[in-house]
Structure 1
Amino acid sequence: MAVAARVPKSLRVLVSEGNSTSAREAITILGLSGHRVEVCDPSRVCLARFSRFLSRFHRCPGLRQDPAGFLGFVERLLAAQHFDVLLPVHEQGFLFARVGQRLSGRTGIALPAFESYRVAHNKAGFSRLLDQLRLPQPPTQIVKSEAELRVAMRFPSVVKTSVGTASRGIWFVRNADDLEAVMRDLRAQGLSGQDLSVQGLGVQGFGANRTFADEVLVQDFVNGITGKAQAVFCRGQLLGFHGYRQIAAGAGGGEAIKQSESRADVRAHVAAIGEHLGWHGALSVDYVLADAATPLLIDCNPRLVEPMSAYLAGVDLVGLLLAISQGEIPQASQHSRDGVRTHLAMQALLGCASRGGDRKHIARTCWQLAARRGAYADSTEELTPARLDWVSLVPLAMVALALLVQPRWGATLANKGWGAHLLDLDSIAIIARQDFPG
């Protein structure tokens, strides 16, 4: 495991949500490091509730439905009680970066300027940044209407909305039928309703070129190994870095099994992005390897994503984040160890069910996980580490039992993690508005 970054005392940390896998893993690391962990979340039964490391839970308004209410709740909590650090573990960072001056002096927090955060949070903005920095990405076009999307389409492609996390707003388009399904989904998500002239685009009929509510990306599909890079910056300087590649997929494209692999070229790309944006805090970048030589950057998250992999490979990114939140400038960490394999049992089970696995397949996966056999023989559990935190077994056991009763519940259970702690176009527009919070 990692040696913690230098923090002079046990800190009282407020984690901004408790239902994502990233939050759950951050709580484990904070608890193992001796910090007092409190969580605010709109769900009474979020993942964070099932941890011996949780000192106190605060039920709050949902970020998506009521961003001003969520902010007011956090501000009242900070005014009533002392917290050394507010840890924006997920999309709450968008809100906190927007009102950074209001939070300054109330608690320690590490976030970049709001405009930098918006670039990293928006897929179209991130793609334009990659072009500006001449960093590799798959061939990409940014479109604003149905007709433009049809013209840009080359099979196979990946279609992405500019806003979306946890694999929301991403479609793999292999043929014309897939494209029509994407169009239906995009209409269901909301179009402006404005019909534009489509002359010269080969599209006829009212509504054929309705504009999208936001920009949409069309990227050439690249078949290859996917990986993630996680980093912590202090005013544009890279302090901590960890990378891993996907060994097996879980539900929604997430990782069920991963193996640490820190590539020097990816590290250089991430460092260039952070330096250009003057990044302060955590940043994660996804990439795909079509060959061993050129990693193509495909996505960015302005936060840490499941930091336990780095911790088990020897780099405490959460500890670094706490240190710079406290105003320290710690020394850059050592490289994480390559070849450290970890897994998320819950993702493995949900992934098995989502791919059509029946009770026999799910039962076999349960046995392999419990016995550490097969793909899990040399792997360490990172999301629900029973040996470190026995309470974490409760939600895992509930998911396993539910899938054994009805494997088709896999997609429904996976979707429960994509809840009120996430943003959408409406809540983003409210937060970005000049008079927010009003």
Structure 2
Amino acid sequence: MIDARKPLRVLASEGSSTSGREAITILGLAGHHVEICDPSRWCLARYSRFVRKYRHCPPLRTDPAGFLRFVERLLASQRFDVLLPTHEQGFLFARAADRLKLRAGLALPDFASYRAVHSKAGFSRLLDKLGLPQPPTRIVNSADELRDGLRFPSVVKASVGTASRGIWFVRDASDLHRALYDLESAGDFAGEVLVQDLITGTVEKAQSVFCRGTLTGFHAYRQIAAGVGGGEAIKESVSRPAIRAALETIGAHLGWHGALSVDVIMPLDSATPLLIDCNPRLVEPMNAYRSGTDLVDLLLRVSLDETPAPLADGRAGVRTHLAMQALLGSASRDGTRRELIRECGRIAAGDGLYRGSTEELTPVRLDWLSAAPLVMTTALLLASPQIASSLARGGFGAHLLDRGSIKKIESDDFMRNASPRRPGESQDP
């Protein structure tokens, strides 16, 4: 058995997401050899001294079979100890886990369990089955059902979506008209659409790592300030035994193996946390790392078939921030250069909400190359603050899934079509 405490060769499945970028920092600080594959030659993780090699790969969204063939050939031609799915590639890897685990360590549950929480409708049904709390929820399949079943205010969610895409906050008839237009234009009624009561409260997130159904690591944090699209710009670690217990219930029921994260609303008028979303991966693990809970290391151990002792929960009250998200959020809300410059000053000086906080996405003092995307984002926003929303939309790239790619992966003949060897194709990744 490979010792996860020694330097490992790790292949990260993408380099575009904030979660993947933070995992790479943690891996690099631990001395691991990290390589990434991503369809974007300018992905966020390329600006890191911790990435030893970048490999240009087919896009997951439009060519999942080609992406899988690429990864399999790379694992066959190069030695990697662990294949680390840092984002939605886990859906594909769970489908092909039997083949991939022959080449590298990989921590994922069976495909049926992964599908159960990847779909927003599937996760809602699972919560109902387990008796776990969520906002009042309805699942609809048409525009007419949505109109008839909706009450203001509500949150409308396409069953498939990530990075805050496919979510509409519907407070009045105008919002409803916009949501219906977007859903019908995207063909989302071909699947299931969730309608949840909009609950007033604090957004929190929890992350965990499971080893064959047993919870071995847990961390939770609350949102202090939002960035663009509702993501966290500033966060602070918290102690949440009730959320931990809910995750334990979910993981035990599914026999979960690997990483699992949930989004939660803490209602203003209740002490009961309401689960609102699930991500079958680690979401931005740096706050946990700064709090003393290294979930990335734990995930490596589980990937290598170790049975690690459970980690103690990290310290509460540890504050971290993502400067890029904060600047994008400031520009999208205020839209003036003056306020953007003030926000830059607060971040640089550690004033206001940033007091005692450390940078988690672009830690320039630890990784000087990470200054490049931060400086570029700042320059673009100062030139035109109004482009904040379009810059944020750029994060929905070819490394993510959509309804079409999910349908391909779920198809009966996908694994045959994704054979690692096809006539006439190069075998060199």
Which TM-score bucket, shorter chain as reference? over 0.9
TM-score (norm 2): 0.95
How far, CA to CA, are the matches of 1:356 and 1:183 in structure 2? Answer: 28
Match of 1:151 among 148, 153, 156: 148
Match of 2:211 among 210, 226, 234: 234
Residue 277 of structure 2 corresponds to 299
Root mean square deviation, CA, Å: 0.8
Residue 184 of structure 1 corresponds to 181
Letter of the 1:307 partner, please give it: P
Residue 301 of structure 2 corresponds to 323
How far, CA to CA, are the matches of 2:80 and 2:274 in structure 1? Answer: 40
Residue 262 of structure 1 and its aligned partner are, at CA, apart by 2.3
Residue 176 of structure 1 and its aligned partner are, at CA, apart by 0.8
Query: Hey, which bits of structure 1, 4+ residues long, moved more than 6 A?
Result: none
Letter of the 1:221 partner, please give it: L
Q: Are 2:40 and 1:43 equivalent residues in the alignment?
A: yes
How far, CA to CA, are the matches of 1:125 and 1:188 in structure 2? Answer: 23
User: CA-to-partner distance for each residue in 1:244-273, whole Å, 9 max, x for gaps?
Assistant: 000000011100000000200000001100
Following superposition of structure 1 onto structure 2, how do residues 11-22 of structure 1 map, counting pairs within 5 Å?
A: 11-22=8-19
How far, CA to CA, are the matches of 2:402 and 2:68 in structure 1? Answer: 16
Residue 310 of structure 1 corresponds to 288
Residue 9 of structure 1 and its aligned partner are, at CA, apart by 1.4
Following superposition of structure 1 onto structure 2, how do residues 354-369 of structure 1 map, counting pairs within 5 Å?
A: 354-369=332-347
Q: Which runs of 5+ in 1 are unaligned?
A: 1-5, 192-211
Give the 3-state SS of the residue equivalent to 2:141 in structure 1: strand
Residue 425 of structure 2 corresponds to none
Residue 357 of structure 1 and its aligned partner are, at CA, apart by 2.6
User: CA-to-partner distance for each residue in 1:258-294, whole Å, 9 max, x for gaps?
Assistant: 0000200000001100110100000000000113511
Residue 195 of structure 1 corresponds to none
Letter of the 1:16 partner, please give it: S
Match of 2:139 among 134, 137, 142: 142
Match of 2:93 among 88, 93, 96: 96
Residue 369 of structure 1 and its aligned partner are, at CA, apart by 0.8
Residue 218 of structure 1 and its aligned partner are, at CA, apart by 0.4
Residue 420 of structure 2 corresponds to none
User: CA-to-partner distance for each residue in 1:288-313, whole Å, 9 max, x for gaps?
Assistant: 01135110000000000000010000
How far, CA to CA, are the matches of 1:412 and 1:146 in structure 2? Answer: 28
Residue 58 of structure 2 corresponds to 61
TM-score (norm 1): 0.93
Residue 190 of structure 1 and its aligned partner are, at CA, apart by 1.7
Give the 3-state SS of the residue equivalent to 1:70 in structure 2: helix
How far, CA to CA, are the matches of 1:181 and 1:342 in structure 2? Answer: 35
Following superposition of structure 1 onto structure 2, how do residues 277-288 of structure 1 map, counting pairs within 5 Å?
A: 277-288=254-265
How far, CA to CA, are the matches of 1:7 and 1:58 in structure 2? Answer: 24
Residue 257 of structure 1 corresponds to 234
User: CA-to-partner distance for each residue in 1:203-234, whole Å, 9 max, x for gaps?
Assistant: xxxxxxxxx11100000000100100000000
Letter of the 1:257 partner, please give it: I
Residue 161 of structure 2 corresponds to 164
Q: Are 2:417 and 1:420 equivalent residues in the alignment?
A: no
Residue 82 of structure 1 corresponds to 79
Q: Which runs of 5+ in 2 are unaligned?
A: 418-429
Residue 337 of structure 1 corresponds to 315
Q: Number of residues paired by the alignment?
A: 413
Q: Are 2:245 and 1:248 equivalent residues in the alignment?
A: no
Identity over aligned pairs, percent: 65
How far, CA to CA, are the matches of 2:30 and 2:356 in structure 1? Answer: 25
User: CA-to-partner distance for each residue in 1:333-385, whole Å, 9 max, x for gaps?
Assistant: 01110000000000000001111331001111111111111111110100001
Letter of the 2:221 partner, please give it: Y
Give the 3-state SS of the residue equivalent to 1:318 in structure 2: helix
CA distance 1:104–1:7, change in 2 (3 Å): closer
How far, CA to CA, are the matches of 1:417 and 1:61 in structure 2? Answer: 17
How far, CA to CA, are the matches of 2:123 and 2:246 in structure 1? Answer: 13
